[in-house]
Amino acid sequence: MNIKPLGDRVVIKKLEAEEKTKSGIVLPNTAKEKPQMAEVVAVGPTIANDEKKKEEIKVGDRVIFSKFAGTEVKLDGEEYTILKLNDILAVVE
């Protein structure tokens, strides 16, 4: 099964805490709007067809996003989040 986000939306899969620690990122507990780390699973056509935007973010990227953004869905037993590109703050390499 395949999920294709519409417009400038992105589908991400949240990384577990241990993965975050391994990658060297620790997110503070006290921040009012806690950022989270995730991996990009799919990008919408508005991103894929935009020369500049598709350079900024692509499938497989590890990203920091706003915790309260987006909608969570469960697909084939896996949990994903669908959000707008604008709710993704940065790519971490």
Token readout for 72 is 């969570």
Q: Give the x-and-dash track for 48-77 against its own copies (CB under 8 A).
A: -x--x--xxx------x-x----xxxxxxx
- Mark residue 13 as left, alpha or beta (left: phi above 0; alpha: psi -120 to 50; beta: remaining): beta
**Beta-carbon contacts of residue 29 (< 8 Å; ≥ 6 apart):** none
Q: Which CB, 18 or 55, lies closer to its own copies?
A: 55
Binding region for its own copies (CB under 8 A) = 1-7, 9, 11, 23-28, 31, 33, 35, 44-45, 49, 52, 55-57, 64, 66, 71-77, 79, 82, 85-86, 88-93
